[in-house]
Structure 1
């Protein structure tokens, strides 16, 4: 396992990871409540989702560079995958907002599936955290898509 995971406390990763949910939750709530600002809030939700999906994709670039346990084929797969979330995020921003939200939710779920491929290579706290982060981000994006579909 990478020395980075061994030298930093898991709580640092968790605090930063869960803090990253605040814009998802805040935007989803405000989309439901602040009808006058729904359009701009929904664009902000999709934009933030695209940025975060790109960020989690980049984690796999880092894994490919640092995880000694990866085979050459596994390293290549991580590198290829690492750029796909950014492309998904970019496409989501070109679509109507409700469709972009759905594409992003699917992108987060697909990324979670990619994380799962790393199995026992990553520390034990990583997978449960990623599951929770993915669920909350995806639910917020789906709420945004549903509200926009039914109330706009």
Structure 2
């Protein structure tokens, strides 16, 4: 009896141990299958412990991430209308910057109106030069101009040359004299000869251009206007002139410079058509020839007078 009970207990122990090993093996297989499945689906995931392998795959979190990414991508995509609005806003912003940069609202109205009126003769002579050049070209090609004949247009062009060059010399002298007025008023302090020099150099450069051929005279005055503007802009920036004077001078100098360039272009079109103007060398030679002729005539009169005196004796 005793041996029978021991045998039965041994059989039950063996059975229970075999069931435990089967269950343990089944659990191990299920746990090991999870990382294999997750690694097969998502090869980029780092290796994790078997206990966390089952929870590595989270379909709800993945769906939320995909939804957020598609939503942000949809917001980044702009409609054609929105791009047009952005472009128009950029253009308006650039136009506002340009308007503010070249603003003349701080310029006194009297100075602005008189300054703009002062460039009208430049514009008028420049446009007239271009038109007369067109008339001369038309007359040389078709035999007659539209309103004026070729000779009349050429004569009027030579009259305009002296007007434009002479007016430029007057304006340059006037711009130089402004610095004398600023020095006398003590604007920004006293600078002495440094400020007086600008008023002296401007007419010293301007008036000799009256003796030059018109093309050289216009080019010289263009350079003089540019250099004088540079000096005026520095004076405004350093406090030696009103703060608005630099932009004011830039606008006026731009109009004058454009007028001079237009005149030069118009004259270039008829360089081989009109008769050449007398150069400064021609004028000097003519003056010397006239002096020599007058001297010869004076000597001839003196000899004639001496001859008459000898005959009377």
Normalising by the smaller structure, the TM-score range is 0.7 to 0.9
Q: Identify the match of residue 34 of structure 1 among 129, 132, 136.
A: 132
**Paired residue secondary structure (2:125):** helix
Number of paired residues?
142
2:234 aligned residue: 117
Write the deviation string for residues 108-141 of structure 1: whole angstroms up to 9, x where unpaired.
0010111122125233322111001011111212
2:194 aligned residue: 77
**Paired residue secondary structure (1:17):** helix
Write the deviation string for residues 55-94 of structure 1: whole angstroms up to 9, x where unpaired.
00111111111134234xx332110110111111112111
> How do 1:1-152 residues align onto structure 2 when only pairs under 5 Å count?
10-35=108-133, 36=153, 37-71=156-190, 74-118=191-235, 119-121=237-239, 122-152=241-271
Structure 2 alignment gaps of length 5 or more: 1-106, 134-152, 272-313
Quick check: 1:64–1:76 contact (8 Å CA) kept in 2?
A: no
1:3 aligned residue: none
The structure that has the greater radius of gyration is: 2
TM-score, normalization: structure 1? 0.86
CA distance in 2, matches of 1:13, 1:75: 25
Two-structure CA RMSD over aligned residues (Å): 1.6
CA distance in 2, matches of 1:43, 1:19: 20
TM-score, normalization: structure 2? 0.43
CA distance in 2, matches of 1:62, 1:49: 20
Quick check: 2:165–2:210 contact (8 Å CA) kept in 1?
A: yes
